[in-house]
Chain A
Amino acid sequence: AQKVTQAQTEISVVEKEDVTLDCVYETRDTTYYLFWYKQPPSGELVFLIRRNSFDEQNEISGRYSWNFQKSTSSFNFTITASQVVDSAVYFCALRGAQKLVFGQGTRLTINP
């Protein structure tokens, strides 16, 4: 069975702070992909990044960075120098054998 756990239900920080969103997954598949999506107040889910199970290289894109550690089954997401526009619900997702499974989401609030 596939499962994604985002233990942090809500996070609130002050603008310009760094914040890390945790994601832990379970799967028996040897080949799988992990994803992060952002859901702003408008409601539409926006794809941010994907990472395959064979590539543990960390990735940085502007203020966003992702840390994939297969040994701990984690795929954490860090926002550096957070901004108010980063406020949203962030979802981690896993795709193994075809079904795309989501975590419960972390509601991130960036206060000015």
Chain B
Amino acid sequence: GAGVSQSPSNKVTEKGKDVELRCDPISGHTALYWYRQSLGQGLEFLIYFQGNSAPDKSGLPSDRFSAERTGGSVSTLTIQRTQQEDSAVYLCASSLTASRVNTEAFFGQGTRLTVV
């Protein structure tokens, strides 16, 4: 597609339920990033993929969070047993590659997750 696409745009879930957030990167982009932005806060790095591999998962807050990427394209971020502190906007970005530092990342509109 023309840009990074994320779905759903909004998600309200009950505490304790699992959620899946989807990111469809720009076609041809091999690097994909997930960030979390809590209300009024900065961007917290979660994980990034180069192809289907995740060289850096250091930002995942707990073992309730996991992510995968298949076919070097779509990525899914899964949060199990959601907690209220998981409420945030989850942003996905893609870039041509992660191995060249000069490539800028393009962001999707984000998924606003609310845990009630």
Contacts and interface: CB of A to CB of B under 8 A. Distances in A.
Given A43-B110, A44-B110, A45-B107, A101 B102 contact: no
Interface string A61-101: 00000000000000000000000000000010001111111
Interface in B75-116: 89, 91, 93, 95, 98-99, 101-102, 104-110
Contact of B108 (A32, A44, A95, A105): A44
Given A33-B102, A96-B101, A101 B45 contact: yes
Interface stretch (B19-27, B35-43, B64-72): B35-43
B89 A91 contact: no
Interface residues of B, number: 26
Contacts of A42: 109
A20 interface: no
8 contacts: A31-B101, A47-B104, A50-B102, A91-B42, A98-B31, A99-B45, A105-B41, A105-B43
